[in-house]
Structures are given as structure tokens and as C-alpha cells.
Amino acid sequence: MRLGKQTVTFEKMPYITATAAIVGPYEGEGPLKDGFDRIIENDDNGEKSWEKAETKLMQDTYHLLLQKGNTTEKNIHYVLAGDLLNQNIASSYAFRDRECSYLGIYGACSTFGEAVGIASMIMAGGFAEQIICITSSHYCSAERQYRYPLEFATQRPPTSQWTVTGSGGLLLQKDGTGPMVEMFTAGKIVDQGIKDANNMGAAMAPAAADTIATHFVETGRKPEDYDLIVTGDLGAVGTDICRELLKQYGVDVFERHEDCGLLMYDRSKQDAHSGASGCGCCATVFSAYFYPKLRNGELTRILFVPTGALLSPTIVQQGESIACIAHAVAIAG
């Protein structure tokens, strides 16, 4: 049912019956290490290129998810997947020759939220019984994709974020037990003129604030209705801006806001600058950290808001500012 221009609510709420997350060694040294299902030993993941390493990360997460969800590929009606690489290749090649329908999605680091939103509408509409939503990113493939090859050893400014090496996924089921998707507020593309590709937090913050504020207006809910509002990967810089912007909209989230980009690394020991980012960031943090808390009752309801910077190196070189988007998913434990 539609609550407003951007928000729908689900009468028949889809269940998130399982999640899975596999991450890289650097992520495995962070504070969430005990929550991840697996930590790979080397960034190359036993493959000959970073792109193939990322593809394998997603493949392995997918198989683990089927196993944890106690299901098999023949029950999966759709896989919704995406990543940061050109032409979404980590996803496309992870699902090559598999026996399930594939729908490629692209929303940069907001992809996981977009996938869960679309999947929930498909399921609540009666068109699927089991759907997998999965995303990935890899520090090394992303650096050469968006910035420079690692061999170039460029110095990074303090506003920059560290792309998560990891893949996270969830299994959505029509019937089952577990946290449920209550609502989906789909974002608009917002561009406030930030041109610094090393400051994506600042670029994404206005998009996050826009979607969160819209969610509260359209649903009539208040921040207090959620235990937490969880953004994707705003990092330290973007988190401050987002909170301030929301305050200007009259929405005070200071007491109940967390950012996956700030949870992934121990910034006092790990040199991750402004925090974590990437399609794999909020997917693995949701899977390893928030999902268990929703499942065991420690959290009763969160607003999960993956954030994405829709830039490409080409558009930055052409002098454009960074268009961003954020999608909000209300999840009840």
C-alpha cells in the first residue's frame, strides 16, 4: 500500500530468514569480526585478479546464504545483485550459469537497500516466495576502478573512505520467521554540488537526510519509533553533515543514529580515514551486526538507509558534481 510519493508499506511483510557475510582480512581485524561468517585469508581470495576475487566472494556468500537459510537454488525465484565495478561484473559473473533468474541492480553503495526494497515489493505483491539480495565490493578492485591502481601508492586525504572488501546477502521469504520488512522509502537523486570524489560522505549526506526526512513525513512516524536509524556509509564527515541537515528539517536523530561506515573499522587503530564505504559495507554490517540483534530482540525496529554516490571517474573528470541517492527500509524484529 502506498503511504506517499516515495513510501510503500507491506500488509504481507516479507521475512528476512537468513543473512550471510564474508569479508576481507582488514575487515576481519575490526570490531565486528565475531559477527562475520567467514574472513578470507588474503585479499586475492585465491584468484588471479581483484575482480575475480570479488566475484568469488559473492559466489561463496551466496552458497553460504543458501545453506544458512536451509534452502536450495531451485527455491530461489530471483537474485537481485549489484556491485561497484564497471558493468556490474562481480554480480553478473558470480551468477553465471546458475539456475535462477537474475536481476542486476545499480545504486552504488545504496544497492543493497534498493535490492531489498524492490524484492519486498515483488514478494509482497505475490510474485515470489524466496528472493536473495546480495552485494559486494572489494578495496583493491574499487581503487583501480574509481581512483588509481594500488601500485601507484597515492596518498589519500582524511575525508576519503575505505572500500570494504566483503559481500553480504539476505534471504527474503514469504513465509518463515525472523525480522520483517515493514516499509520502503525509495530515494530521489540529490546533488548538492560536491565535486570532491575523495569526500563522498559529504556528497551523500544530503541524499540520506532527504530520504530519512521524507520517510518520517510520509509515514507519520518519528525517530523515537525506531531503536536506531542506520545509514550505509556516510563515514565521519557525512555522518555529522547528515545529522545537522536532519536537525534543520526538524528531525533529531542524534541519540539514535549509527552509520555502518563507522562501525566496520576501529578508527583508533585502523587507518581507514573517514570510515568504511562500498556496496559490501552496509550489506555485511547489517548481516553480521544488526540482523542478529533484530533476531534476538535486542533491537525491535530499525530504519536501514543504504547510501550511494552515483559517480563514475569519467563524470568526475568532466567536472561534474556527485549525484547521490539513499533508500530507506523499515525493518521490525
* 191 versus 252: smaller Cβ distance to a second copy: 191
In sequence order, the 6+-apart residues with CB closer than 8 A to the CB of 173 are 14, 15, 16, 17, 69, 129, 130
Using CB under 8 A, which residues numbered 294 to 313 contact a second copy?
310-313
Using CB under 8 A, which residues numbered 43 to 62 contact a second copy?
48-49, 51-52
Out of 186, 194, 294, 299, point to the residue binding a second copy (CB under 8 A): 186
Which cell goes with 144? 583501480
Out of 39, 121, 228, 332, point to the residue binding a second copy (CB under 8 A): 121
* 97 versus 255: smaller Cβ distance to a second copy: 97
Question: Least separation, in Å, of the C-beta of 155 and a second copy?
Answer: 24
Query: In the block, which residue shows the cell 532527504?
Result: 210
* 87 versus 300: smaller Cβ distance to a second copy: 87
Question: Least separation, in Å, of the C-beta of 86 and a second copy?
Answer: 5
* 198 versus 312: smaller Cβ distance to a second copy: 312
DSSP 111-175: HHHHHHHHHHHHHHTTS-SEEEEEEEE-HHHHHHHHS--GGG-----TT--EEP-EEEEEEEESS
* 139 versus 291: smaller Cβ distance to a second copy: 139
* 51 versus 143: smaller Cβ distance to a second copy: 51
Q: Which stretch binds a second copy (CB under 8 A): 81-89, 234-242, 274-282, 283-291?
A: 81-89
Out of 29, 39, 44, 89, point to the residue binding a second copy (CB under 8 A): 89
* 52 versus 267: smaller Cβ distance to a second copy: 52
The Cα-based distances of 60 to 45, 50, 91, 163, 243 in angstroms read 11, 15, 12, 19, 36
Question: Least separation, in Å, of the C-beta of 191 and a second copy?
Answer: 5
Long-range own/partner contacts, residues 240-248 (CB < 8 A, 24 or more apart): 241/201, 241/202, 241/205, 241/206, 242/205, 242/206, 242/208, 242/209, 242/212, 245/205, 245/206, 245/209, 246/209, 246/212, 246/213
The crossing angle, in degrees rounded to 10, of helices 139-146 and 50-68 is: 140
Q: Are strands 228-231 and 162-163 parallel, antiparallel or unpaired?
A: unpaired
CB 56 within 8 A of CB 70: no
The Cα-based distances of 82 to 114, 174, 280 in angstroms read 10, 22, 10
Binding mask 122-161 for a second copy (x = CB under 8 A): x-xxxxxx--------------------------------
Does 191 sit near a second copy (CB under 8 A)? Answer: yes
* 24 versus 82: smaller Cβ distance to a second copy: 82
What residues make contact with a second copy under the rule CB under 8 A? 1-2, 5-6, 8, 48-49, 51-52, 74, 77-78, 82, 84-89, 92-93, 95-108, 114, 117-118, 121-122, 124-129, 186-191, 310-315, 318, 320, 323, 325
